[in-house]
Amino acid sequence: MRGPLTRRARRAAAIATAALCAAAAWTVALNPAQAEEDGAGAAQASKVEVTGSQGDWQLTVDGQPFTVKGLTWGPSPAEAAGYMPELAAMGVNTLRTWGTDDSSLALLDAAEAHDVKVMLGFWLLPGGGPGSGGCIDYTSDDAYKSEALADIVGWVETYRDHPAVLMWNVGNESVLGLQNCYGPDEVDAQRNAYTAFVNDVAVAIHAVDADHPVTSTDAWTGAWPYYEANSPDLDLLAVNAYGDVCGVQDDWAAGGYDRPYIITEAGPAGEWEVPDDANGVPDEPSDVEKAEAYTQAWECVTEHEGVALGATLFHFGTEGDFGGVWFNLIPGDNRRLSYYSVAEAYGGTAQANTPPVIHDLDLVFSGPIVGGEEFTVTVDVTDSDGDALEFIPMVNSAYINGSWDMLLADYTVNGDGTITITAPEILGVWKLYVWVEDGNGNVGVESRSLTVTLPDVEGENLALGRPAEASTFQEWGGHTPAMATDGDLATRWASEWGDDQWLSVDLGRTTDFGTVQLVWETAYATGYEIQVSEDGDQWSTIHTVTDGNGGADTIALAGSGRYVRVLCTQRATEWGVSLFEFGVYA
């Protein structure tokens, strides 16, 4: 696995969004007894069992064979009733959650109404692979373990009689996540202690609920030896597997395991599994490749007959952000090729209208592009239904500032089918997404990365290496005034959080100049003044901006002075202001 600490973190953030408060569900649980009074135990529970023997297992519900044909659940439980008919039509018979609390009742009730089961999860720290929610010492933190155990048992008692419950899933990727909390000399002891605690939870659940199996999910099969050694009371194993999901069968056989398993997450290869593109960012699979990945994953699950009991594929989510485009079946409530791939695998109802298929997306330029300049995109797309197509370019800055938000690009769709797009102004690697919607609830999405760079400025940078002063600076981060005149875009000046911050540079003598270039960090100024001075005390304003939008501002002006200053009159964010570079050009 390549880069699990950073790239897997993005998928984990998607899980955190989908689970809502699941990452801390054991601490925010409102009142299990009250939830039961509200109707959780009103109907007869199903009896779910893992039956059979080595290599010939099956899952049964009320004595009938049951293969999990599932999806991980993304929307809020309150939305479940609206989506459940669609899920049932897809052939989905199981949904998986990462957390359980009082809101789970709405999901269970909606699922029951459409003969869908739910695998209810319990979040344990540090969940989600990268250590989501904080670190726990499983060798000594008895208070956390006691409280978590009591809370889990409380929710099991609340929902055990609900007919939609399929099984309980304790934890998610914590064996992996512990590597971010402890060094190599300590992590094995923590993993053994964690999986021993999972077994304690399984024993406690079985004591109050004999009718539903218990499992525990982790990232890849490297966690299985810990469960094998310390968690004998789990009824089955579970694993999240993406690009190499078809290798799970081989790992199971090689490890000599004596329990069946379920795939609790699978889908297209993630950021941590794909090669980088020319701009050094993970090369996202196409819509066609993603759809094929779901088909292949399901084929590999069903090929391991008698051992693999099914899968909950990732992810029935509606977000149309960075992670949503990578993994969600219905980003922005639009169905994509992967949606139909899963429906076909699960034997769902065939749909008359299908999504547009993007065969290629070509950025008609090579190398970096200057922020604010226009470029052309060609999209090779077909739609078998002959629908009128709408092209919607979006951009995302996740690789610059960690944002998952999609921003609508400044664009024009041309008569020849090409798209003219204005490059963002913030420097760094962006992702461009072109959404192609067919007006019938379907979408095709394709992405490419592009590097945004500074415009060239003629002449000598008079500020380079010159002494600089500022109203304030963040001493704790080393973001001193000199960082804005060192010619290095990897360093920056950052002010304290306050209004009317300024940065000045001493050119050494009175000098004429014709351009000022400001390269802003995320904390930029929407309003600022360029000022000059002969003595560094009395200032004259030579240029005023009231609608700054960050990125790189290259300003042509006629100025003269020994000192040049940018006075920030209006902050764009709650933070201060920050500049990577402050250039003054002759």
CA-only gyration radius of the chain, Å: 28
Query: Using CB atoms within 10 A of its CB, is residue 334 exposed (0-12), middle (13-18) or buried (19+)?
Result: buried
CA distance linking residue 286 with residue 361, whole number of Å:
10
Same domain, 113 and 249: yes
Whether residue 279 sits in one domain with residue 237: yes
Residue 206 sits in the same domain as residue 274: yes
Cβ pair 527, 545 in contact under 8 A? yes
356 within some domain: no
Residue 401 is part of which domain span?
Answer: 365-453
Same domain, 449 and 473: no
Residue 442 has a pLDDT of 98
Hey, what are 431's tokens? Answer: 């992702």
126 cis-preceded (ω within 30 degrees of 0): yes
| Residue 358 within a domain | no
- Specify the pLDDT at position 131: 61
> Going by C-beta distance under 8 Å and a sequence separation of 6 or more, which residues neighbour residue 154?
29, 32, 33
This prediction has a pTM of 0.87
Indicate which CATH number applies to the domain containing 411. Answer: 2.60.40.10
Q: Tokens representing 285?
A: 């699979």
CATH number of the domain that 160 lies in? Answer: 3.20.20.80
Domain boundary among 387, 421, 453: 453
Tell me whether residue 301 is in a domain: yes
Are 473 and 445 in the same domain?
no
Contact 60, 235 (CB under 8 A): no
pLDDT at 40: 47
- Domain boundary among the residues 453, 479, 501 is at 453
Same domain as 204, residue 299? yes
In a domain, 529, yes or no: yes
Q: Which residues, in sequence order, are bridge partners of residue 421?
A: 375, 411
In a shared domain, residues 446 and 473: no
CB atoms within 10 A of CB 130: 21
Same domain (yes/no): 333, 425: no
Residue 20's pLDDT is what?
Answer: 34
Q: How far apart are CA 420 and CA 245, in angstroms?
A: 40
Long-range interactions of 81-89: CB distance < 8 A, separation 24+: 81/106, 81/109, 81/110, 81/113, 83/316, 84/110, 84/111, 84/113, 84/114, 84/116, 85/114, 87/114, 87/116, 87/316, 88/114, 88/115, 88/116, 89/343, 89/348, 89/349
User: Is residue 149 one of the residues assigned to a domain?
Assistant: yes
Query: Do residues 293 and 50 touch, judged by C-beta distance below 8 A?
Result: no
Report the number of distinct structural domains present in the chain.
Answer: 3
Expressed in percent and rounded to 5, the helix, strand and coil fractions of the chain are 30, 35, 40
Distance CA 283, CA 280 (A): 9
Contact assessment for residue 518 and residue 552, using Cβ atoms and an 8 Å cutoff: yes
CATH number for position 551 = 2.60.120.260
In a domain, 446, yes or no: yes
Q: Are residues 386 and 432 in the same domain?
A: yes
Distance, in Å, from the CA atom of 62 to the CA atom of 51, rounded to the nearest integer, reads 12
Both tokens assigned to 158? 């609340």
Digits of tens for pLDDT over the chain (586 positions)? 223 334 445 445 444 444 333 333 333 333 444 444 444 445 689 999 999 999 999 999 999 999 999 999 999 999 999 999 999 999 999 999 999 999 999 999 999 999 999 999 999 999 886 666 789 999 999 999 999 999 999 999 999 999 999 999 999 999 999 999 999 999 999 999 999 999 999 999 999 999 999 999 999 999 999 999 999 999 999 999 999 999 999 999 999 999 999 999 999 999 999 999 999 999 999 999 999 999 999 999 999 999 999 999 999 999 999 999 999 999 999 999 999 999 999 999 988 899 999 999 999 888 899 999 999 999 999 999 999 999 999 999 999 888 999 999 999 999 898 999 999 988 999 999 999 999 999 999 999 999 999 988 999 999 999 999 999 999 888 999 999 999 998 899 999 999 999 999 999 999 999 999 999 998 999 999 999 999 999 999 999 999 998 989 999 999 999 999 999 999 999 999 999 999 999 9
State the residue for tokens 């024993």: 203
Q: Would 206 be classed as within a structural domain?
A: yes
Q: Which of 154, 49, 178, 138 is nearest to 104 (CA)?
A: 154
Contact between residue 481 and residue 468 where contact means Cβ atoms under 8 Å apart: yes
- Confidence at residue 133, expressed as pLDDT on a 0 to 100 scale: 74
The whole-angstrom separation of Cα 308 and Cα 61 is 16
Asked, for residue 460, whether it belongs to a domain, the answer is no
Distance CA 404, CA 401 (A): 9
Domain match, 484 and 410 both: no
Of 310, 345, 380, the position where a domain reaches its end is 345
Considering the domain architecture, whether residues 197 and 62 belong to the same structural domain is answered as: yes
DSSP string, 202-248: HHHHHHH-SSS-EEEEEESGGGHHHHHHH-TT-SSEEEE-STTGGGH
245 contacts 263 by C-beta, under 8 angstroms? yes
β-bridge mates for residue 529, sequence order: 544, 567
Tell me, yes or no, whether 258 and 294 share the same domain. Answer: yes
